[in-house]
Chains A and B, each alone.
Chain A
Amino acid sequence: MHELLARLRRRHEFWLVVVIVALIVFLSLATPAFLTLRNLADLLTANAFIGILCAGLIVVLVSGGIDISFTAIATVTQYVALSVANAYGANWLTLFLMAGVLGIALGLINAYFIGKLRIHSIIVSIATLNIFYGLLIFFTGGDYIYTLPNFFAVGVNWFEFEGADRIPYAINLQMLLLVLSFVLTWAILNRTNVGRQIYAMGGNPDAARRLGFPVFRLHCFVYGYMGFIAGVASLAQAQFAQSVAPTILVGKELDVLAAVVLGGARLLGGVGTVFGTLLGVTLLALLQNGLVLLGVSSFWSQFVTGIVILAAVTATALEARRQHQARRPRR
């Protein structure tokens, strides 16, 4: 038991769980509005976009790269897919097919420059963010789309029931996609050989090359998957917003990055778990929600978010250093 606790203590996820539980207890006591079905359902739905993107970005970080162009990819895919759907008609399948394929295609552009030409991923994705976003604004003039296909505007309402507060609740599109994207990412990273190759490549890229890993194909998979997830997330967001606004998604990429890093992923690659990512995004969502419920100004909410991220990564760095010291041979 003692040993189990000692092992748990060394895990980043353990501390995240502790903080999240403490936060939940505190918020439940501090404000009656927190622990209600209403608030929790809203919390999931409103944070689905960021959460789904986290499920894609963790794969990129584990591979040893970084991507910040995914918000631009999401904006482009949602605009194109829903414009086409409006013009030519679509159903759930064709809509997701369009968003997914376009997302993958844009992700592969990143992969080409990163994997083939060996340009650092941050440079490539800064450039493609601007290119994708710039082209979209140029062609659309920044116009919103307010009319959505009917089936899409209605969305998904599974297991609908009326709560004690007389409001109907259901599993909606956002919750569904959030769960699916995390399950899919978990399965890829932990259950497929490609996922393990991604971990290995992130841990030691030279060794991966020497052992004959298909490094370029892995990059294609990683950035293509990020693009695919961005496409999926963009539809969840458009359905939630009931419109397509080309200017509001770009800028959220750092929130996603913060959540994934808070979840324990290392920017140098090879380290990070799906569970940790889930906890990271949960913590940030709870924090922002809690501050709103407590009536704190939204400026302070950003400040507090920043402090929490800094505190978490500092704690991780200190723990890593402590472990390193403990491993250093004594003479």
Chain B
Amino acid sequence: MPAFLDLQAISKRFGGVVALDDVAMTLEAGEVHCLVGENGSGKSTLIKVISGVEAPEPGGSIVLDGQVHARLTPRESTAAGIQVIYQDLSLFPNLSVAENIAVGRHLGHLKLVDWAAVRRTADAAMDRIGVHLQPDALVQDLTIANRQLVAICRALAADARLLIMDEPTASLTRGEVERLLDLVRELKSRGICIVFVSHRLHEVLDVAERVTVLRDGRRVGTFPAAEIDDDRLAVLMTGKQFAYGLKDVDLAARPVVLDVAGLGRDGEYEDVSFQVHEGEILGITGLLGSGRTELALTIFGMTEAEVGEVRVDGKALVPGSNQAAIEAGVAYVSEDRLALGLVLEQPIVDNAVATILRELAGRLGLIPPARRQATVDHWIEQLAIKVSSTANAVKTLSGGNQQRIVLAKWMARQPRLLILDSPTVGVDVSAKDGIYAIIARLAAEGLAILLISDEIPEVRYHAHRILIMRNGQLVGPYDPTTSSEAELMAAVNA
């Protein structure tokens, strides 16, 4: 039997950047296939080629159901039963469960809505996989796991034969992941092909037949899932063997910079206590929504804890005062640097000095351009940022260099504690190492660093100690040199 979908020699360039380079991939009916790679490896571009959103460069071929295409249009792709469930699920929060599932009925020319048929379509899709949600409930009132079920039902209602799921487990608890995998087995038994797109496939390896690994836009290979384990995968994805780059120093003897005692905030985290020493990188990992980012926001003074206190260099911070935290030497590089960390349209130079405007200002509150430029040049050199001119807008930089500008902005304040929340999200593989090197060097110079990440390898390879945030509670510490990735994964999901 021919493959359901056969991609050959697929390339895609965006301007001068090669996103995909001669990639091949086949998908069989009833197969569960994992597509893995680091951020920027070309996973999402490949999905867009399959779903028809992006056209590949001429020269490749896409064989769908035995028909040869140079490219697919979104319409052809949907008509053939290809459905993508994006990480954000693309649901309509203001509409009911039933309407979301049957939303395809609303497409087409002007016609009256047959509400009974909407309901029947939704019930049929839910029955097929044994899901029972209130059809009248609004999607915005559902849990993430149930929203995902709605998205799956919507794909089924559209007669999906190939279901591509982008990071489906990112925000699910262990139990919810199990239920999702049961569902995947069920779909597979009905001949539906499923593609998991992930950089954390530990959880889905059990149900998968094959794994395709992408790196820097190229296919590293397609492997039987049985031959793959975490360590092998890490090597395949990054192309290098990891070594612990951190020097063993006696951190306990160093002075404590950050001291968090009994911190709690209702519904977010509770009874959180830990210390970060001078020169230490403390890794905190956990699921999305486990409270790790919420904790960081409290330490940075953006939110106020209900109990407990935060001390920096022995001095208690004023709760809920962002200004006090900054004064005390806390710097925070947010998860969403594009929304919170940078003003993309503004020149690099203005972004880089945004945190020290008051310090730079001379009498009358005016800022001498020379002093501003000198500060910026210093940090651009220190952090090895590649810029043609500091007058250019930040958006002209790559993800990795943007992240360094955010770092520069905070380093200019000469902080005591640096909180990094998912610092390498959206940064391509080669630039990640540069950022890790900077983090290690800053720590070696005595900065205390709190490294928050949902990628377990990231904290395992780049932190001195690891704490795990689980349902708002901290567990650990774990020693990265003696804990395996599987052990940490189990602790995250327990």
Contact = CB atoms under 8 A, between A and B. Distances in A.
Interface of A: 190-197, 199-200, 202-204, 206-208, 210-213, 270-271, 325, 327-331
Interface string B74-94: 110010000000101011111
21 contacts: A192-B110, A193-B105, A193-B112, A194-B110, A196-B99, A203-B93, A203-B95, A207-B90, A207-B91, A208-B92, A210-B86, A211-B90, A211-B103, A211-B104, A212-B75, A212-B107, A271-B94, A329-B267, A330-B267, A331-B268, A331-B269
A323 to B, nearest CB: 8
Given A193-B110, A212-B74, A203 B267 contact: no
- The B interface, classified by DSSP as helix, strand, loop or mixed, is loop
A197 B92 contact: no
Contact of B107 (A190, A213, A329): A213
B153 to A, nearest CB: 14
A192 B112 contact: yes
A331 B267 contact: yes
Contacts, number: 75
Given A207-B91, A208-B92, 11 more contacts: A192-B112, A193-B106, A196-B103, A200-B106, A203-B92, A211-B90, A211-B103, A212-B74, A271-B94, A331-B270, A331-B471
Contacts of A190: 113
A209 to B, nearest CB: 9
Given A192-B112, A213-B107, A200 B92 contact: yes
B84 to A, nearest CB: 8
A199 B270 contact: no
A100 B113 CA distance: 26
B141 interface: yes
A199 B95 CA distance: 8
Closest 9 A-B residue pairs measured CB to CB?
A: A207-B90, A203-B94, A270-B94, A203-B92, A193-B106, A331-B472, A200-B92, A328-B267, A196-B106
A64 to B, nearest CB: 10
- The A interface, classified by DSSP as helix, strand, loop or mixed, is helix
Contacts of B473: 331
B369 interface: no
A27 B111 CA distance: 44
Nearest to B151: A207
Nearest to A188: B110
Nearest to B143: A329
Contacts of B471: 331
Contacts of A207: 88, 90-92
Contacts of A199: 92, 94-95
A203 B74 CA distance: 22
Contact of A206 (B90, B94, B105, B267): B90
B365 interface: no
A300 to B, nearest CB: 37
B108 interface: yes
B1 to A, nearest CB: 30
Contacts of B141: 327
Contact of A193 (B86, B95, B107): B107
A325 B268 CA distance: 12
Contacts of B268: 331
Interface in B123-138: none
A270 B270 contact: no
Contacts of A329: 267
B427 to A, nearest CB: 23
B113 A270 contact: no
B107 A196 contact: no
A43 B110 CA distance: 36
